């Protein structure tokens, strides 16, 4: 701009007293009206297409107005500059540019974090900061503020940092982190749509890509503002001590998570038991694994526990499991008939597999009766075993009653010594 921004407001005030101001207002209104209609066209095409544009939904629709208006104003400036004062248009440029920046940033945030509730509050706060910087720039106070921040010097190791450099570093790193999160979101979407890839490998590659992109963002962002990366070595010793004492469990869980995801010993959908917890694996993260029990209660198990404990995986290589029922009949009962009833009760259940077929065994001769065992296989342990046990027991009970087979009560023979009884 040929005019000093610090004098822009004063010159604009002079323009207000001149009739040429109407040409600036008219030109600005024309730019805004054209941008408004372009914005309407973009929104209309997005809705008429019948599908959400990956970039257009919440992206082009929000960027169309400020970007088109900014381009039109920049094109209008050289056309009017030699005929009329253009201070109003010069004021519009940073305002429209800041509006475009705000919408670009929050487009990236929405693509990364979704429609989170905190984004609305953060957008208002971020907008106030951006408009505040623009106001300082227009009024000419921003250079003085920068000089004040540069006067505050911080010594870290051998490098001297000032407050303005640190602030630039934070903003730059934040911007690169947002871009990294956006790119990692795109990579995650592509990986999750790869149906021919194992689910655990998809999760591993997603986590690794996000971690590498975030690290790359920090490594790129800090040198851009002149902060030497070797300065961070000052904090490495303290971080190592903190990791050794306070973060060792967290680090162990993360390492265990990658081990589980890579060796694929536990997968999404497996029914596992660890300690007192049993349930279906619904989620595996790098820190914990979620087990959903039959009651609907979800157990969050640290990955370190899964790696360091014996895990019963009911569907590791074969989802079929064997269930056994223990039943006692009286010694006077027809054992063959009882075993036949038990086999028929199991065979009538749709969840019981025909191969391997159910089998009945005479397990032992007990104190009160003969112990029989019924063994059968099911292929859907994630549905639970209580219902199938109950159904088969009810069928056996009905069959025993119809056949007159007695299930004995516990019996004890008591003799009183010295009474002749």
Q: How many CB atoms lie within 10 A of CB 187?
A: 16
Confidence of residue 3 (pLDDT cuts 50, 70, 90): very low
pLDDT value of position 211: 77
Residue 335's pLDDT is 92
Selected residue with higher pLDDT from 114 and 347: 347
Which pLDDT score is estimated for 6? 47
**pLDDT > 70: what percent of the chain?**
73
Average pLDDT over residues 386-414: 88
State the average pLDDT over residues 330-335: 90
* CATH no. for 321-403: 3.30.70.100
Phi/psi at 327 (nearest 5 deg)? -135, 140
Give SS3 for 160: strand
pTM over 0.75: no
Q: What is the pLDDT of residues 62-120, one digit of tens each?
A: 677 788 888 888 888 887 777 777 767 777 787 788 877 777 777 766 666 665 566 66
- pLDDT(189) > 80: no
Q: What is the pLDDT of residues 12-61, one digit of tens each?
A: 555 555 556 677 777 878 888 888 888 787 766 665 554 444 444 445 56
Residues of the chain with CATH 3.30.70.100: 321-403
Q: Of 191-195, 362-366, 390-394, 397-401, where does mean pLDDT reach its minimum?
A: 191-195
- For 266-287, write each residue's pLDDT tens digit: 888 888 888 888 888 888 877 8
Which residue's entry shows tokens 């112990």?
371
Domain with CATH 2.30.30.60 in the chain: 251-313
Instruction: Look at residues 35, 173, 17, 146 and name the one whose alpha carbon lies nearest to residue 87.
Output: 17
CB 96 within 8 A of CB 66: yes
Cα–chain-centroid distance for residue 141?
42
DSSP 3-state of 323:
strand
Q: How confident is the model at residue 372 (pLDDT cuts 50, 70, 90)?
A: very high
Average pLDDT of 255-275?
A: 81
SS3 206: helix
Whole-number Å distance between alpha carbons of 91 and 16: 13
Q: Is residue 371 packed enough to be buried (19+ CB in 10 Å), middle (13-18) or exposed (0-12)?
A: middle
How high is the pLDDT of residue 30? 85
Q: How confident is the model at residue 158 (pLDDT cuts 50, 70, 90)?
A: low
CB of 46 within 8 A of CB of 57?
yes
Residue 290 has pLDDT above 80, yes or no: yes
83-92, 174-183, 311-320, range with the lowest pLDDT: 83-92
Q: What residues have CB less than 8 Å from 343, skipping those under 6 apart?
A: 358, 359, 360, 374
Across all residues in the chain, what is the average pLDDT?
A: 76
Q: Which of 68-77, 232-241, 377-386, 387-396 has the lowest mean pLDDT?
A: 232-241
Compute the distance between CA of residue 64 and CA of residue 42 in angstroms, rounded to an integer.
7
Find out whether 388 and 378 touch, Cβ atoms under 8 Å: yes
User: Is residue 90 packed enough to be buried (19+ CB in 10 Å), middle (13-18) or exposed (0-12)?
Assistant: buried
- The answer to whether the CB of 76 falls within 8 A of the CB of 120 is no
Q: Percent of the chain beyond pLDDT 90? A: 14
- As a whole number of angstroms, the distance between CA 227 and CA 279 comes to 50
CA–CA separation, 21 vs 27, rounded Å?
Answer: 10
- Could you tell me how far CA 16 lies from the centroid of its own chain? 54
C-alpha angle 263/269/271, rounded to 5°? 90
Indicate whether 398 pLDDT > 90: yes
d(CA 41, CA 35): 10
pLDDT category at 243 given cuts 50, 70, 90 is: low
User: Can you spell out the DSSP letters for 337-384?
Assistant: HHHHHHHHHHHT-TTB-SSSPPEEEEEEE-SSSEEEEEEEEES-GGG-
Judged against a pLDDT cut of 90, whether residue 345 lies above it is answered with yes
What one-character-per-residue DSSP string does 254-304 give? HHHHHHHHHHTSS-TT-EEEETTEEEEEEEE-SSEEEEE-TTSPEEEEEHH
CATH topology of domain 251-313: SH3 type barrels. (2.30.30)
């Amino acid at each position: 701009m040929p005019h000093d921004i610090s004098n822009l407001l004063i010159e604009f005030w002079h323009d207000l007293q001149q009739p040429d101001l109407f040409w600036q207002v008219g030109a600005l209104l024309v730019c805004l009206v054209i941008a408004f209609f372009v914005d309407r066209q973009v929104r209309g095409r997005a809705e008429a297409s019948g599908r959400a544009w990956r970039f257009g939904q919440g992206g082009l629709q929000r960027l169309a107005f400020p970007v088109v208006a900014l381009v039109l104003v920049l094109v209008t400036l050289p056309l009017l500059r030699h005929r009329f004062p253009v201070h109003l248009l010069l004021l519009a440029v940073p305002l429209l540019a800041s509006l475009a920046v705000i919408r670009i940033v929050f487009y990236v945030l929405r693509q990364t974090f979704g429609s989170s509730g905190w984004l609305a509050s953060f957008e208002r706060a971020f907008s106030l900061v951006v408009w505040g910087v623009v106001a300082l720039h227009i009024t000419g106070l921003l250079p003085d503020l920068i000089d004040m921040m540069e006067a505050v010097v911080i010594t870290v190791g051998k490098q001297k940092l000032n407050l303005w450099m640190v602030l630039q570093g934070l903003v730059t790193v934040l911007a690169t982190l947002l871009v990294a999160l956006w790119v990692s979101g795109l990579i995650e979407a592509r990986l999750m749509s790869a149906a021919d890839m194992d689910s655990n490998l998809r999760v591993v590659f997603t986590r690794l890509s996000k971690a590498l992109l975030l690290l790359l963002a920090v490594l790129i962002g800090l040198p851009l503002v002149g902060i030497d990366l070797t300065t961070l070595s000052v904090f490495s010793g303290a971080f190592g001590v903190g990791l050794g004492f306070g973060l060792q469990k967290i680090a162990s869980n993360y390492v265990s998570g990658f081990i589980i995801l890579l060796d694929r010993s536990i997968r999404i959908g497996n029914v596992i038991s660890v300690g007192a917890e049993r349930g279906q694996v619904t989620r595996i993260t790098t820190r914990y694994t979620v087990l959903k029990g039959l009651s609907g209660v979800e157990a969050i198990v640290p990955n370190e526990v899964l790696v360091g404990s014996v895990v019963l995986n009911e569907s590791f290589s074969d989802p079929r499991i064997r269930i056994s029922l223990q039943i006692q009949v009286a010694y006077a009962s027809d054992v063959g008939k009882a075993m036949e009833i038990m086999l028929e009760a199991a065979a009538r259940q749709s969840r019981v597999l025909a191969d391997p077929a159910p089998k009945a065994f005479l397990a032992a001769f007990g104190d009160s009766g003969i112990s029989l065992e019924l063994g059968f296989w099911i292929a859907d342990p994630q549905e639970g075993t209580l219902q199938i046990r109950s159904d088969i027991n009810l069928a056996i009970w009905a069959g025993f009653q119809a056949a007159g087979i007695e299930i004995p009560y516990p019996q004890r023979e008591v003799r009183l010594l010295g009474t002749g009884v």
